[in-house]
Structure 1
Amino acid sequence: MPDDPRFATTRIAERPASAPSWPARLGRRVLRRLPLVGTLLGLGLGVWLIATNDLAAVADAFGRVGPGGLAAIVLVRVSVILLCGLAWGCVVQGLAGLGQARTGAFVLLRLVREGINVLLPVASVGGDVVGGRLLTFWGTTGTLAAASILVDMLFQAGTQAVFALAGVGLLLQVGGEAAQALATWVLRALAVTALLLAAFLAVQRSAAARAAGGKVVKALRRVFRGEPVDPSPPGGSVYDALDAVWAPGRRGTLAASVLLHLAAWGLGALEIWIALTCIGVDSVSFTEVVVIEALSQAIKSAAFPVPSGLGVQEGGFVLLGSLFGIDAGTALALSLIKRVPDIVLGLPALLLWQALEARRAMILPPAA
């Protein structure tokens, strides 16, 4: 009988789930295609910059660096990654739930984070998400791993903003309309960055901001994934870990993490200085090199949807180099030289990532 409850139950059970709403479908498509679109746009910009300039000049400047100069630049990048790994470890040093993770684990996983961010078509935070997951392979709780990534990303972005601000201060001493215009643009971008960082910090420290942030995240999940919004405040597990990280008695270790990140940003300027020295450009002072490094990194970070800042980094070097008398060919060579450590260290980092995943799969028993 059609009105029999048994048949009604069967019809309900066999009824397919409703299709996601069109905003959810659109959001998924945008998120899936954004890295690819960014990659294509970046590659197009990079190819255009190289094609519209003297290729012979770019190749000549690149060749002058030689194997010895490139090796020195790679060693500088290794030192930068080491400092960043130590900074990450300081965030959770001595906390319960850390498991067997020690300094070596944080340095190795920092290498993996960098490799994913610079070589794979993902946004600049893709490697950080993977790094937090891999940290749990050392027995670190998932909540503490997530908290460590959130705080480390905050410190990294915050110190980069400070480094960029220092670069602006040095740039203002150069004078000229172009330098003034660039400094004004960067200062406006830093003002927006400061607001975002303040909100990021508030979400980690303030209970009210956490609740508001949780509602925003759930609303976005409803738009992009078609998931219902739960009006209740977000769970406290990750926030408990954040409270442990931000405990008043840990200010010394957190300050050490900030200082290590600042040192890493400053050390990156050595890569440009070594390259210019090998090329034979002695008209640029080390102070001007710091300006180039600080602002080129800021420009690259502003274009975070573009994987590894493809094309954007090259354009930034051409723009900044023109302020200090560096021709476009040499500026493009500098950008390409900066990418050498990305490849030399990034490829082993990706292999390490896969090795860790394979080892984890061998240890864990198969699901029943």
Structure 2
Amino acid sequence: MKRLTTLASIVGLVTALALFLSSGVTDVAGALVGAGWGALAVVVARFVAVAWAGFGWHVVFPRGAGPTLRDCISLRFVREGINTLLPVAQVGGDLIGARLLTRRGTPGGMAGASMFVDLMTQALTQLLFTVAGLALLVHFTGDGPVVRTVAGGVIIAIPALAAFYVIQRRSGHRLIEAALSRFAAAREWRALGAIDVLYDNLRRLYGNRARVSAAILIHLVGWIIGTLEVWIALNAMGHPVTFVEALVIESLAQAVRGAAFVVPGAIGAQEGGLIALCALFGIPAEAALALSLVKRVADLAVGLPSLALWHGMERGTPAATDTVAAGLGAIRARLGRRTDQSVPAAAPISAPLAAPLATAYGFPGGRAAALAPDNEPGAFQKCA
């Protein structure tokens, strides 16, 4: 995967450089300078959109059983910074966000389940946003190569999204348990009850349809807020577009970024996609590339402080590379305690008997704690 990401990054950089050279670096720079105040407004719009996405994450939690809105928003910025600026295929930040959530008192099963539900609602709303943009594009331009390309991507995305949902439901639960039993040392995992706890929380969250529906609505509004970036930047550069035209460009450009998830920052893919989409509305290539640069300024303006925030949150915790080992150590400690209760006092106990840190799927918690409500002793007994 690392080699694939590196190769994709090189191809993306070469593609982006070729596009800038062919469009004229001076012309692109002139268009970028012409954006003026618009670049700052785009950065503000990005901050609002990310904070709004944090609100969408917050609403999926049952009342009184989740983190504060402030925690969800701050961790949503961390997720955004990691996914945008680091080579983690646009999902590593979400896993880290769930782990950091456990340090704020959210049980591991609930943190992991909320992350999956939030990803599902975001993916579903992005698909709806893309379909809406595609329908508007057909209305404006009729059939064409861009329409057919995007339609083909939508056709591929629908079964993939459906599979992502199914894997989170009961059939997915059985599939994962079967895979662990066959290919892994599943005895330890069953003793921890991690998979059962995760799926119990997934059923709990998806069972509250009102909250899931609210999250879907909030994320839809969030995608529309993102349209402000295109609308503000192009109008500031002297290329007036309507908000609906900006919505078409933004929705399909986001689809291109999603398809190029292997490439960090979708380098090259974003630039090429914006050139093709802007051309449909008579916007020259240099303006499209300037728009891409404005968006990347917003990526840095939001992402760099978010990475600094992540660094502050991680201070005093084990390194990410040690989390799996720490989690397995906690499993062995728990198994050691149970073994100690079933053997004579003189029998040697190899596992440490100190109280382990609370864990969440191999991620260490921030404190030695009593079992959370969704990690009741019954979760261990039923798997023993």
Smaller-chain TM-score range?
0.7 to 0.9
How far off its partner does 1:58 sit? 0.4
Residue aligned with 2:239, SS: coil
Q: 1:264 to 1:189 in 2, by over 3 A?
A: same
* Aligned residue pair count: 319
1:279 maps to a residue whose letter is: M
How far off its partner does 1:38 sit? 2.4
Are the counterparts in 2 of residues 39 and 121 from structure 1 also a CA contact under 8 Å? no
Are the counterparts in 1 of residues 45 and 225 from structure 2 also a CA contact under 8 Å? yes
Question: Mean alpha-carbon deviation: is it higher for 210-219 or for 256-265?
Answer: 210-219
Please report the TM-score for the alignment, with normalisation by the length of structure 1: 0.81
Residue aligned with 1:173, SS: helix
Please report the TM-score for the alignment, with normalisation by the length of structure 2: 0.78
How far off its partner does 1:359 sit? 4.6
Question: Mean alpha-carbon deviation: is it higher for 236-245 or for 31-40?
Answer: 31-40
How far off its partner does 1:77 sit? 0.7
1:324-366 Cα shifts (integer Å, max 9, x gaps): 11111111000111111110111110011010000546x9589
1:343 pairs with one of 300, 312, 315: 300
Cα distance in 2 for partners of 1:78, 1:156 equals 17
Are the counterparts in 1 of residues 109 and 198 from structure 2 also a CA contact under 8 Å? yes
Runs of 4+ displaced beyond 3 Å: 213-219, 227-230, 232-235, 363-366
Spell out the pairing of 1:1-150 with structure 2 (5 A cutoff): 31-66=1-36, 68-94=37-63, 96=65, 98=66, 101-150=67-116
Match of 1:191 in 2: 155
Match of 1:15 in 2: none
Cα distance in 1 for partners of 2:178, 2:290 equals 47
Residue aligned with 1:92, SS: coil
1:167 corresponds to 2:127: no
Residue aligned with 1:139, SS: coil
2:309 pairs with one of 339, 352, 355: 352
Spell out the pairing of 1:315-334 with structure 2 (5 A cutoff): 315-334=272-291
Cα distance in 2 for partners of 1:79, 1:314 equals 24
1:64 maps to a residue whose letter is: G
Match of 1:23 in 2: none
1:274 corresponds to 2:232: yes
Q: 1:79 to 1:139 in 2, by over 3 A?
A: same
How far off its partner does 1:95 sit? 5.7
2:244 maps to a residue whose letter is: T
Q: 1:364 to 1:156 in 2, by over 3 A?
A: closer
Are the counterparts in 2 of residues 272 and 289 from structure 1 also a CA contact under 8 Å? yes
Cα distance in 1 for partners of 2:50, 2:98 equals 16
Cα distance in 2 for partners of 1:218, 1:274 equals 54
Match of 1:238 in 2: 198
1:156-176 Cα shifts (integer Å, max 9, x gaps): 011000000000000001225
Cα distance in 2 for partners of 1:301, 1:136 equals 28
CA RMSD of aligned residues (A): 2.4
1:180 pairs with one of 137, 144, 153: 144
Cα distance in 2 for partners of 1:41, 1:215 equals 39
Are the counterparts in 2 of residues 84 and 110 from structure 1 also a CA contact under 8 Å? yes
Cα distance in 1 for partners of 2:227, 2:10 equals 28
Q: 1:290 to 1:46 in 2, by over 3 A?
A: same
Percentage of matched positions with identical amino acids: 39
Cα distance in 1 for partners of 2:311, 2:254 equals 28
How far off its partner does 1:69 sit? 1.8
Structure with the higher fraction of residues in helix conformation: 1
1:238-280 Cα shifts (integer Å, max 9, x gaps): 1011011112xx2222111111100010111111111111111
Cα distance in 2 for partners of 1:198, 1:216 equals 20
How far off its partner does 1:50 sit? 0.9
Match of 1:9 in 2: none
Structure 1, unmatched stretches of 5+, are 1-30
Structure 2, unmatched stretches of 5+, are 319-364, 369-384
1:282-318 Cα shifts (integer Å, max 9, x gaps): 2x32211110000000011011111111111001001
Residue aligned with 2:215, SS: helix
Residue aligned with 1:268, SS: helix
Match of 1:305 in 2: 262
